Amino acid sequence: MEVFRFELLKKDQRTAARLGRLKTSHGEVSTPVFMPVGTQGTVKAMTPEELEELGAEIILCNTYHLYLRPGPDLVRQAGGLHSFTGWRKPILTDSGGFQVFSLSSLRRIEEEGVWFRSHLDGSSHFIGPKEAVAIQEALGSDIAMAFDECPPYPAEKAEVEKAVRRTTAWAKSCVQAKRREDQALFGIVQGGVFRDLRQQSAEALMAMDFPGYGIGGLSVGEPKELMLETLAWTASLLPEEKPRYLMGVGAPEDLLEGIALGVDMFDCVLPTRNARHGTIFTRTGTVTVRNAKYARDFSPLDPECSCYACRKFTRAYVRHLLKAGEILGMRLASYHNLAFLVRLMKEAREHLAAGDFDSWKKATLARLRGEE
C-alpha cells in the first residue's frame, strides 16, 4: 500500500532548486514548503482554520513535548494528532532527538538511547530509536523522523564521528521497529561541518532506502557561510527522487538560499517566536514594531502584504497591543509572519514553474537585505 510519494516536477536550470509534490494519507503538499511548528500540538497563537486560511499545507509537531504531555497513549485514544488537534492536513513529527540532546545537564547517552529528566517535573525517562518510532506511530503523523544524535557546535571531529555512528545504528533500529504503513519514516543526515562525515552518514542512510531525508545538525551556532557550504555539499549527496528536509531553519533569506541548494522542506519556530517579541518580517527586512518610532505608524505591518493582519491593522495598533501585553498583538504578529513565509514559498514555486527562479531569488534577497 503506497500512501507516501514524492514527485519531482521540475528542476531549475541555474540553481539546484526543485519543484515537487508530496503525497500523504492526509493530502498533498507542494514543495518547496515551510512547515509551521506546533510544538505542543498547536502552532502558538493560531487556530487550524487560520493556518489553512493563510495557506499552510503541513505542520510539524514535537515528539518530545507530546510524549511528556499529554502522552502518546492519550493522543492515540483521541484518534491521533489529526483528530486531537483539529488539523486535518499532513503532519510531520520530529524524533525528539534534538530536544533530548539539548538537555545537556539532564541526560545521559547510551548506545541503546538516551536517559533524560523531564524539564517539567524532573522525572526520569528513556527514549531510544524503538521508543521514538513507537511514540510517533501512536501520535499518527504522516511523516516520522528517525531518532538521531545532534552534536553541538563547535564539537571535536571524534565526537561528531561518534554521533554519526550512533545515528546510523539508531536509523537501522528505527527501520526495524516501524509498523505503520500509512506513515513515512525519514532518516536524518548528521556529520557536523565535516564533509567526510556528512558523506559517510548520507551513504549509510541511503543504503537503507528511506523515502525522504532530513539534514540535521545545521543552524546550531555555526557561521552562516559555513552552514550554507555544508548544506550545499550534503544536499548534493542525497538522491534526486527523494525529498530533502532542512531541519530548524526559517529566516526568509535562509529559506531562499536553501531552496536554491536543493532543499524541499523547512521548519522553524522563528516566525512565531519573533512575532511574540514584536519582530515582523517584511519585504525590505525585519521591523521591530515594539520600538517607539512605530507608535504613530499607521501603515500595515508590511505594506506589500495582503494577509488579514496587514489588511485590517496598523503597526501602531499592533505595537500598542504588544506593549499592553494583549494576546491579540501576539496573534496578529504570528499570523503575519507565518503568512509571509508561506507566501514567500508559494512565490518561489511560481517562479520555479515559470523558469525565472534565480533572478527572482536574487532580487528578493537584495530587498530583504536592504541592498537595493
- Residues with active-site annotation: 94, 267
Q: Contact at 8 Å (CB) between 302 and 310?
A: yes
For CA atoms 133, 134, 136, 141, the dihedral sign is positive
Report in angstroms the alpha-carbon separations of 130 from 58, 60, 164.
25, 20, 18
Strand-pair category, 213-215 with 184-189: parallel
Amino acid symbol at 213: Y
Structural element, H or E, at residue 116:
strand 113-117
Q: Contact at 8 Å (CB) between 174 and 35?
A: no
Q: Helices (DSSP H) in the chain: which residue ranges?
A: 48-54, 63-68, 72-77, 81-85, 97-102, 129-139, 157-177, 195-206, 224-237, 252-260, 270-276, 308-312, 315-323, 327-354, 357-368
CA distance 60 to 46: 14
Q: Contact at 8 Å (CB) between 266 and 33?
A: yes
Residue 86 burial (CB count, 10 A): 12
Q: Contact at 8 Å (CB) between 238 and 244?
A: yes
CA distance 168 to 42: 31
Structural element, H or E, at residue 187:
strand 184-189
Buried residues in 175-209 as b, exposed as e (16+ CB within 10 A): bebbebeebbbbbbbbbbbbeebbebbbebbbeee
| SS3 label, residue 244 | strand
